[in-house]
A and B are shown apart, each in its own frame.
Chain A
Amino acid sequence: MELEEMQAVWADLSSQLEKQKKLTDKMIIMMTQEKYKKKWNRIAYPEILGTIICYGVAILILINIGKLDNWYTLLSGLISVVVLLILPVLSLRSIFRMRKLNIAENDYKDTLMQYAKGKKRFQSSMKLGYYLGFILMFAIMPVTTKLLNNKDLFTETTKIWPFLISIPLAVVFMIFFSKWVYKSYNRNIIEAENLIKDLEE
């Protein structure tokens, strides 16, 4: 399809749409009401829920920190707390940055530039979040064993075989998964970089 033909199809579409106007005054006013905020919340709520869970677990570990009575479970506990506190911040930060954008004042170029930068930042923080999740997976194991069963994972474990199977499996899975995540995030970051270059030309 040549550009001229595309323009003709577009013009046809425009005249078709012109003929079938559907919006009423009431509908337009409705659209400007609180509904929008509800929609935005649909995106923010899962993030906020995730934050509550992460912070809840972190607080639980901190309250029971005294029960982590040797240096390695204590260290695992502290690492878990740090990761649990950082993870939600990474995700929520990008939502709040997005909210700050001034749609009415910026031109398309500025918005695209911020979009590309935001996309790059978001992908990088997701990547970081992924690696932190990997660390958390291992760090939280001795902590939960201690807090839930009052057992030291390293000295009081009688059966080793479940760990011999599950840990290598988890590691292999995480390695393959991380490679896949890295690839897809990288592709997005490169796209965003290209867009920034294109706009700066």
Chain B
Amino acid sequence: MSKESVFTQIIKDNEGVIFKITTVYTDNREDQKDLYQEIVYQLWKAFDRFRGDSKISTWMYRVALNTAITRLKKEKRKGNQVGIDKVIMKQTEYYDTEFEEKLKILYSHIQGLNELEKGLMLLLLEGKKYEEIASITGLSASNVGTKISRIKSKLKSQIVKN
């Protein structure tokens, strides 16, 4: 199997994950598309150096989250962003309105978190264990635990406010 075909298969297997990361870190459709392309490009660039020391998913999350963060930095230079509503409404073809509404609430909660918390929350929602979150983020597992419980209380207070 050629390098290209291995890579394209990895991307195809994980396209949903990349999509979710781009939704959390952008607030309009065009930026989301750009970030998606950028993540795939960065994964391709990094693919040669992937030695299999970590799980492919760990490596992928790390590169994708790092790309999203560096992208954020570029975006801060622009301004005039469109609200998250516009992204969610169009994201998949099969949504029912109730699900869409729930998703909107979920994203609004995530948007209320800071950059670090957004990444942690995303990994938590992806069902990652603290150890894996730690190896993706570079934080210690205990630190991940502390920060996640802080996120939980932050979310609770957001819910109370609403």
Q: Give A residues with C-beta under 8 Å from B.
A: 1-3, 5-7, 9-14, 16-23, 25, 28-29, 31-32, 35-36, 39, 43, 98, 101, 103-112, 115-116, 118-119, 122, 188, 191, 194-195, 198-199, 201
Contacts and interface: CB of A to CB of B under 8 A. Distances in A.
List the 3 closest A-B pairs by CB distance, nearest first. Answer: A107-B138, A104-B46, A17-B16
B80 interface: no
11 contacts: A5-B102, A6-B155, A9-B103, A10-B126, A13-B92, A21-B16, A25-B8, A32-B40, A112-B116, A115-B73, A122-B76
A21 B12 contact: yes
B79 to A, nearest CB: 10
A22 B11 CA distance: 11
B159 interface: yes
B114 A1 contact: no
A108 B65 CA distance: 7
Nearest to A118: B73
Interface of B: 4-5, 7-8, 11-12, 15-16, 19-20, 34, 36-38, 40-42, 44-46, 49, 62-63, 65-67, 69-70, 72-74, 76-77, 92-95, 99, 102-103, 105-106, 109, 114-116, 119, 124-127, 136-139, 143, 147, 152, 155, 159
Most chain B Cβ neighbours within 10 Å, of A22, A108, A195: A108
B4 A107 contact: no
Nearest to B40: A31
A115 B115 contact: yes
Given A16-B95, A23-B12, A29-B4, A109 B137 contact: yes
Given A1-B105, A195-B116, A103 B46 contact: yes
Nearest to A104: B46
A188 B94 CA distance: 38
